[in-house]
Structure formats: structure tokens, C-alpha cells
């Protein structure tokens, strides 16, 4: 993701622009670029930045259908990238030594969810991703059971019912195996099961224990009259609740670890220290938390809130508009994970938090 993320320039300013899709994208672009045009650079840098602004201004933004876009340009280095984003972001523009990626790094993750709408003789499998849903398979049991029963004392009826139950359970097992195969080919985050209540419960019990742990919920729907829109609406609600619970659990694990094992950091100051020691395994960033100015060393990538002489190698540090962005990129380089978190959690008071690979003291 974002192969240009490591593109840097020590000579020319790198321009990063974010635009949320609105009715007047041209006016939005003018507003976000106004502060950029007032920045002072030397002649060569100014010419590069002017070319970036002109190139971005010439984009036919009104044709964009994505909820938001990120544009990253450095004419002096000869590169230009447009990223279409699956979620809205605030309008913003900045310059720096590399693309400013905090808004996209902290977007809610793009989940993949399998939805199975089941009944005793059929199943419809759907893939839900990026706010859309697509049917990927229909499974139908061909064998039928005789309805007009005869025989002494209902024996034939009981035998037919037993056969019907056997077919139903085999059908659930086959559908569960198909889901497991699909997961092995391309993993998904959640499974959501729809249908009549008795059918959904039976089917969930047929799932492999590993897949059962991915079940985000069940919903009631008539498989014979369902529409893709109805399935999407019901499944999206359950998926959103599961994602909310997962994020709250992540925050809880950080808060617990900070008070018990010491293998957690809260607040940007502690996160900077942990990042410089390559200790951060999982980083959570409150999406709307403010940018924090600071500095970074171009020689050894040491991060600081104050700047001046680098504590890592002694070189002079360069000012940056947002230390949080530098922490995010450093954690990713060190093979950690980064995730944005919404408001209304205990992390709000700190802005950032992280689980650590080892305690710092």
C-alpha cells in the first residue's frame, strides 16, 4: 500500500493535498492551497512547488467518484501520485520532505466480510467490502424428500424426516467447508449469517471452530424474498458493531497493559521514546487528535518533540509539522501495525497509544 510512501526529497518540497468530495471541489482546492502559496522557499524550490500546484489545479476533480482523494507531488523529483480513498477525510494541504500520510494511515480499515444467507436446502454466499456487496455463489441441494407419506404407524414419515435432517446437516457442512476454502484462498475479517433464526443457529454450529470465532452476528431475513440491498443493510450494521467492539477491546488492552505490565505507551511523548527504541508493535491514533510539531533526523530517523541536535547521532534535526505522522511511518517501517480510532474511548485524553514489544523500564 502506498508504494511512494518512502519517496523523499532533501532538495524540493513535497506537496500533499487531501480533498473530501463535495459540490465545489475547485473552491475547496483553492482554500486548502492558499496557505501553501504563502510559504517562502528559494527560487528552485518555489518553481517546483508552483508546478505542483498548477498540475493539481488542472486535474478534472469534478469527475472523481471516490469519497475523497489524496494527491502527492514533487515536480523537482519528477513524481506525482493520486490516491482514491474509500472514506472521507478532512480537506488539508501541507509540504514536507515526504508525502504526509497520516490521514490515510488512520482511515478505518477496509474490512472484507462473507455473508451467508442459509436455509435447509440452499445458501447464498455474498462478499461485502468497501460499502458494496456482491453475490459470489448459490448452493442448492438437488435431492428432494417425498412429501406424501405412507407406511405402518408413520414409519415412512419418520424415515423421510430423518433423511431430510441428514440432508440439511450435510448441506450445512458442505456450505461451511466452502466458506473455509474461500477463507484459505483469500482471508476475510468476519462472517455474518442470515436466514430464519433456527437455520442460522444450526449453520453457525456447523462452522469450523476457527471460522466460528469470526462470526460477527446473525440476522433474520427471508432467503426467498431477500435483495442485495436488504442483505447489505443488515450485514453492515452487524459488521460496524463488530469493528467498534474490536477497537474498544484494543484500547482496553493498551490501558490495561499501561497499568500492569508496562508494555504500553500513552501520549505522544512516551510514543516518541518507544518508537525511537523500535518498541511499538501496535499503534492506535485517535483520528481527530491534533497535529504535534516536532523534528526528525534525516541521518538516523530519530524523532524529537523539540528538535535541535539529534540524540541519536548528533546531526542537526529538521522541523516537521506533525510528529504523529513520523511515528506512524516509523512503526510501519519497524513492522508494527497502525490503526485509527474514533472518539469516545479512554484514548481520547492521550491522542495516541501503543502496545509495546517490551517494557521500557
- The answer to whether 160 touches 143, Cβ cutoff 8 Å, is no
pLDDT at 149: 46
Q: Does residue 228 sit in helix, strand or coil?
A: helix
Q: Which three cell numbers stand for residue 294?
A: 516536532
Confirm or reject CATH 3.30.420.40 for domain 261-361, answering yes or no.
Answer: no
> What is residue 130's predicted lDDT score, i.e. its pLDDT?
84
DSSP state of 351: S
CATH topology of domain 112-244: Nucleotidyltransferase; domain 5 (3.30.420)
Q: What is the DSSP letter of 316?
A: B
Say which CATH topology domain 1-105 has. 3.30.960
Is-same-fold flag (1-105; 261-361)?
no
Buried b (16+ CB within 10 A) or exposed e, 172-209: beebbebbeebbeeeebbbbbbbbeeebbebbbebbee
Q: Residue 147 above 50 pLDDT?
A: no
Band the pLDDT of 344: cuts 50, 70, 90: confident
Q: Where are the beta strands (DSSP E) in the chain?
A: 14-20, 68-74, 79-85, 92-96, 112-119, 122-129, 132-140, 190-195, 215-220, 264-266, 280-286, 294-296, 303-304, 318-320, 337-341, 352-356
Q: What percent of the chain has pLDDT over 90?
A: 76
In Å, what is the CA distance from 217 to each residue of 131, 157, 194, 224, 312? 18, 35, 9, 21, 50
pLDDT digit string (tens) for 111-136? Answer: 999 999 999 889 999 999 988 999 99
In the predicted model, what is the mean pLDDT of residues 221-234?
A: 96
Q: Tell me the three cell numbers of residue 187.
A: 482471508
Q: Three-class SS of residue 292?
A: coil
Cα Rg for the chain, rounded, in angstroms? 27
User: Per-domain residue ranges for the chain?
Assistant: 1-105, 112-244, 261-361
Nearest to 271 by CA among 285, 288, 255: 285
Predicted structure pTM score = 0.83
Cα separation, 232 vs 202, in Å, equals 22
More confident residue, 157 or 294: 294
Give every CB contact of residue 269 below 8 A, 6+ residues apart in sequence. Answer: 305
Amino acid at each position: 500500500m502506498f508504494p511512494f510512501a518512502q519517496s523523499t526529497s532533501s532538495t524540493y518540497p513535497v506537496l500533499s493535498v487531501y480533498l473530501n468530495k463535495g459540490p465545489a471541489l475547485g473552491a475547496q482546492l483553492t482554500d486548502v492551497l492558499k496557505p501553501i502559496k504563502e510559504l517562502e522557499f528559494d527560487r528552485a524550490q518555489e518553481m517546483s512547488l508552483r508546478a505542483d500546484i498548477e498540475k493539481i489545479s488542472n486535474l478534472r476533480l469534478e469527475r472523481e467518484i471516490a469519497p475523497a482523494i489524496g494527491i502527492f507531488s514533487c515536480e523537482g523529483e519528477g513524481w506525482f501520485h493520486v490516491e482514491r480513498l474509500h472514506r472521507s477525510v478532512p480537506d488539508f494541504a501541507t509540504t514536507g520532505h515526504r508525502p504526509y500520510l497520516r490521514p490515510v494511515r488512520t482511515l478505518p480499515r477496509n474490512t472484507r466480510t462473507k455473508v451467508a444467507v442459509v436455509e435447509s436446502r440452499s445458501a447464498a454466499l455474498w462478499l461485502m467490502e468497501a460499502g458494496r456487496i456482491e453475490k459470489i455463489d448459490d448452493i442448492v441441494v438437488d435431492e428432494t424428500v417425498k412429501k406424501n407419506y405412507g407406511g405402518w404407524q408413520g414409519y415412512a414419515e419418520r424415515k423421510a424426516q430423518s433423511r431430510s435432517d441428514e440432508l440439511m446437516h450435510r448441506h450445512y457442512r458442505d456450505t461451511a467447508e466452502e466458506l473455509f476454502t474461500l477463507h484459505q484462498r483469500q482471508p476475510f475479517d468476519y462472517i455474518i449469517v442470515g436466514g430464519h433464526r433456527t437455520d442460522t443457529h444450526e449453520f453457525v454450529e456447523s462452522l469450523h471452530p476457527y471460522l466460528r470465532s469470526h462470526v460477527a452476528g446473525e440476522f433474520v431475513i427471508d432467503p426467498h424474498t431477500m435483495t442485495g440491498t436488504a442483505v447489505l443493510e443488515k450485514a453492515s450494521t452487524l459488521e460496524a458493531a463488530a469493528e467498534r467492539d474490536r477497537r474498544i477491546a484494543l484500547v482496553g488492552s493498551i490501558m490495561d497493559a499501561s497499568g500492569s505490565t508496562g508494555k504500553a505507551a500513552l501520549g505522544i511523548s512516551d510514543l516518541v521514546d518507544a518508537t525511537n527504541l523500535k518498541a511499538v508493535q501496535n499503534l492506535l491514533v485517535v483520528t481527530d487528535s491534533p497535529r504535534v510539531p516536532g523534528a526528525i533526523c534525516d541521518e538516523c530517523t530519530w524523532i524529537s518533540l523539540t528538535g535541535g541536535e539529534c540524540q541519536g547521532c548528533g546531526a542537526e534535526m529538521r522541523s516537521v509539522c506533525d510528529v504523529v505522522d513520523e511515528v506512524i511511518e516509523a512503526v510501519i517501517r519497524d513492522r508494527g501495525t497502525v490503526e485509527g480510532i474514533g472518539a469516545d474511548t479512554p484514548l481520547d485524553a492521550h491522542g495516541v497509544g501503543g502496545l509495546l514489544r517490551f517494557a521500557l523500564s
